[in-house]
Amino acid sequence: MTSLGPYASFVVTSYALVAAIVLILIGWVALDYRRQKERLRELEASGVTRRSGRQATDIR
């Protein structure tokens, strides 16, 4: 790997920012999935069922 020279801070900041935003996107999608599954579980536990009769949390 070559030295990044006098502009290393620009290169490192760019890569760090990309990594941070990508991780935030992955975290947001994963947390949102957990939140929706949790809400569906709570609704099913309270006795609300889908018209098809299938479990709301069943995605297989």
Does the footprint of another protein cover residue 53 (CB under 8 A)?
A: no
Tokens of 48: 């609300």
Does the footprint of another protein cover residue 45 (CB under 8 A)?
A: no
Does the footprint of another protein cover residue 50 (CB under 8 A)?
A: yes
Could you give the CA distance from residue 57 to residue 60 in angstroms, rounded to a whole number? 9
Tokens of 55: 């479990």
Does the footprint of another protein cover residue 23 (CB under 8 A)?
A: no
User: What region does 47 belong to: left with phi over 0, alpha with psi -120 to 50, or beta?
Assistant: left
Residues in touch with another protein (CB under 8 A):
1-8, 10-11, 13-15, 17-18, 21-22, 24-26, 28-30, 32-33, 36-37, 39-40, 43-44, 46, 48, 50, 54, 56, 59-60
